Amino acid sequence: MLVAVNYIKTPSVERLVKLWAERYKPDLSSLASEEDDPRSYTDLIEAASPESRPLTAKKLHQRLIAIKCQMAGIQTNCLYAYIPNIVDLSEANKLANFALLIYLKILEIYQQTSPTAREEKALISTAIATSGEVSFSSWEMLSTEAWGMPGIQEIATALEPILLEFQEQHILSHNWHTLGFITTLLNFSNKLLLLSEKLTPAEQILIQPYLKFVEEQVALPWQRVCIAAAQYDVNSPIFKLVEQLFPVSRDIAKVVYSRLMELLPNHRSRRGELTDPGITHSCLRDLEMFQAYLWLCLLEKSMAPIESELLDLCVMVMTAVHVKWEMTELWNKLLSEEILARLTPDQRTILQPYTDGLQQAFLKHRDRFDIPILNKIKPEILSNNTQKRGEIKQKILGQNYKKNGESIQLSYMSQEIERLTKKMDELDRELARTREQLTQKRDRFGISQRDKD
C-alpha cells in the first residue's frame, strides 16, 4: 500500500535507496544472444539519448494510452467481476482515466535525463566506435543514471501526489482492499503498452523500468522500507540483515516460485497456470512484496504492516483469482524457509519471529481465504434463466464449465475488448468530455500539455 512519507537523509536510508534504484535498471537479457552484434547497443544508445526520448514519448500519445488503459480496465473488471462491491464498469473506466494521468506523468519524467547520462553515453559510444566491442556484463554494470533515469527518489516524489489520489479513488469510496484492483489494472496496462507495435525493441527496454516502477510503487513498500531504516546505524545487526537481503529479493522469489511449480504442478487459478508468463510475472512481484513487508515489519519492530495491510490485500486478491489455501500456505512456508536459509544463526534469531508471525497471521485468518461459491455472486449478475446460468458462470470465472457433457467455451473478455475497439468513436467522445477535467488535473499535478495525436 502506498503511504505518503517524509524523506529523511541518513547514511542507512541512502544505502537502501541506492539498492532500491538498482531494481529499475534496464533488463538487457533480450540482448544476451546478440552480444556480438554492436548494432543492438548502438540502437540503445540512440534511443536513450535526450533527442530520442521525446520521440519515444510521442509514440505513446494520449489517445493510445487511453485505449490501452480502457482495455486493461475491462480485463481487470472481468477478473474481479463476481466480487460484490468492488467496482462496476463505470468505476473501472474512471480508474482507467486516472491511470492515463499517471502514464502521461511518467512519460514526462522519461524525457528528463540524468545530468551524468550524456557524458557516460559518450564514453560508451566512443568505446564501440574504437573497438567495436562492449561486453554484455559491462552494460549491466551501468547505473540507472547512466541510462538517463532520474534519481529514484525524484521519480517517487514526482509521482506521489497522483498515485496517492489514484489509490484513494477507491480506498475512500469503498475500502482499501481494492488496491488489488488498482495493481492489476496497472499490470495489464503496462503489458498492453509494452506490446504496442509502435515501440522499437530498444525503446521497450528503456521504458520498461518506468512502467515497472509505477506498478511496484502502488503495492510494494520499498520506499517505506528505506525510510524505516533511518533510526538504525549502518552497523546495526537489523540494518545489515535488511541490506544483505534487499538486493537478492528477486533471486529469492525465483527460487521459491520454482519450488511452488515443482510441488504444485497442477495448480490453476482464474488467471491460468503457474507456467503462464502473466502468472509468473505477478507471482514473482508478489513474492518480492512479501519480502518488502517482512523488512518493513522488522525495521518497525511491529507485525502491523503484515496484519493490517498485506493480509487483507491477499484475502481479496487470492479469493478473487481462485488461489487455493494450500498454495497460500505453501507460499509462506517456502518463502520463510528460503529467507532463513540465507542467514547466519544470529540473524535467524532476529528474523524468525517475523517469518513465524507472517505464517501465523495467515493461518489465523485461514477461513477468509475460502474461495467464494457462486451463490455469493452479485444477485444482479445471475440470471433466473437456468439454461443461461452456465454461460454466466463462464463469463464471470473465465473457465470451461461442462453441462450435459458439452463444454461451454466463451471469451467474455475478448468480446468486450473487441467491442471497445469497434467503438473508437465513442471513446473519442468520452475523451472529449473528460479533456477539460484532465486539463484541470494537469495543472494541479504540474503535468505539461502534450500532443494528443
pLDDT digit string (tens) for 181-223? 788 888 999 988 887 778 898 899 999 999 999 989 988 999 9
Q: Is residue 406 classed as helix, strand or coil in its secondary structure?
A: strand
pLDDT of residue 196: 74
With respect to residue 308, please indicate whether it lies within any of the assigned structural domains.
yes
Asked if residue 450 belongs to a domain, the reply is: no
What residue has cell string 573497438? 131
Q: pLDDT of 304-330, one tens digit each? A: 999 998 998 888 888 878 899 999 999
**pLDDT 10s digits, 410-430:** 344 455 445 544 544 454 555
- Distance from first CA to last CA of the chain, Å, rounded? 34
In a domain, 338, yes or no: yes
Residue 394 confidence (pLDDT) above 60: no
> Residue 298's domain is classified under what CATH number?
1.10.490.20
- Domain around 306: 220-372
224 falls within a domain: yes
> Tell me: the pLDDT tens digits for 252-279?
999 999 999 999 999 988 888 999 988 9
pLDDT for position 237: 97
Q: Three-class SS of residue 410?
A: coil
Q: Which of 66, 281, 53, 311 has the alpha carbon at shortest distance from 187? A: 281
Contact 61, 453 (CB under 8 A): yes
Highest mean pLDDT among 13-17, 74-78, 447-451: 13-17
Residue 214 within any structural domain of the chain: no
Phi, psi of 268 (to 5 degrees): -150, 130
User: Which pLDDT score is estimated for 93?
Assistant: 74
Task: Judge contact between 31 and 47, C-beta under 8 A.
Answer: no
| Residue 170 forms part of a structural domain | no
pLDDT of residue 434: 54
164 located within any domain: no
CA pseudo-torsion sign 56, 58, 63, 69 = positive
Q: What local confidence, expressed as pLDDT, does residue 328 receive?
A: 94
- In the chain, the number of structural domains is 1
Residue 401 lies in a domain: no
What is the reported pLDDT for 349? 97
